[in-house]
Amino acid sequence: MLRRLPLPERYDFAGTVGSLPMGRHDPCTRVAEGAFWWATRTPAGPASLSLRREAAELVATGYGPGARWVVDRADAIAGLRDDLTGFADVAGQHPVVVRLAKVHSGFRLPATGSVFPRLLRAILEQKVTGKEAYRGYAAIVRHYASGGEPAPGPLAGLRLPPDPAVVAATPYWVFHPFGIEQRRADAICRAAAVASRLEECANAATLTAQLIAIPGIGTWTAAEVIRVVFGDADAVSVGDYHIPHMVSWALAGEARAGAREGAPGCISPADERMLELLEPFRGHRGRVCVLLERAGVGAPRFGPRMPVRSFAAF
């Protein structure tokens, strides 16, 4: 199944779809044969989507039982439904954001519409280094893909994300060799058990409420999910270790947004300061954070990096 999509001027195809993979070695995505490939599970069944730029058009080709689903959503997956209304006005309130909006004017926020694969990633990213999370995610995908159905289409080696029903029935000890401790493993299985209900959520508010009702999933994880599933430009990842300091450094010249400690169950002073600085950009607060990350903005470091661990060895 094929669909041709007209592209806006200065559209950043590589940057936009490049925000979808989890690291360079995500088994569910691939850049090959001049196209970006993305495999997922849809209500109609497994599918692969190929996105190829040809001059001023984007050619979307779907494969598998879910081909129509992914092709119908191809414009959203490629960020072409991203609504930039009002961003130019709010961006003008800070020179750093003005510059970022200009430099990255072609970047769009994708909206995949696929909840569980992004939720799996977000849970794996909780309170660990990126390298640990990427390694665990790739190991899980390959474990469930071995001996199972390949991703549809002609591209060899492309893997489907795990079937939530199979994940939900997996005991904890299966995750341990992948470097995933019981806390995150249990959260993954709980999420997988209600994945079909989560996929039915029609908007960001409903999905957020459903997500934070699951033990082991909080506001940070929910924001990471809805920003990609719905392309929510206002989703701010409250509770992140680095983002509050990145925002305070970029927008206020403060190396630290505030102490990380706070009363149990309450928002930290660092997050309070971040939200205060982002308030003028309401409606696009998450977009501002994404642009700062894309620009490589980082607050000064005053200590060693968090070590990369492996729970598989415990």
> CATH class for domain 115-202?
mainly alpha
Q: In Å, what is the CA distance from 159 to each residue of 2, 37, 63, 163, 177?
A: 21, 10, 13, 12, 20
Which residues contact residue 48 at a Cβ distance below 8 angstroms, ignoring those fewer than 6 apart?
37, 38, 39, 62, 63, 64, 70, 151, 152, 153, 155, 158
What is residue 147's predicted lDDT score, i.e. its pLDDT? 63
pLDDT, residue 53, reads 96
User: What pLDDT sits at residue 266?
Assistant: 64
pLDDT score recorded for residue 263: 44
Return the pLDDT at 24: 79
Whether CATH 3.30.310.20 fits 2-78: yes
Quote the pLDDT of residue 305: 54
Q: What pLDDT, on the 0 to 100 scale, is given for residue 267?
A: 81
pLDDT value for 304: 53
pLDDT tens for 255-289 read: 887 755 544 456 889 999 999 999 999 999 999 99
Topology match between the domains 2-78 and 115-202: no
Residue pLDDT, tens place only, 26-36:
999 999 989 99
Which residues of the chain fall below pLDDT 50? Answer: 262-264
pLDDT in tens, 195-230: 999 999 999 999 999 999 999 999 999 999 999 999
Residue 83, CA distances (Å) to 7, 120, 230, 241, 283 in order: 14, 26, 11, 28, 10
Q: What does pTM read for this prediction?
A: 0.90
Give the Cα separation of 69 and 87 in Å (integer).
Answer: 30
The full set of domain ranges for the chain reads 2-78, 115-202, 243-294
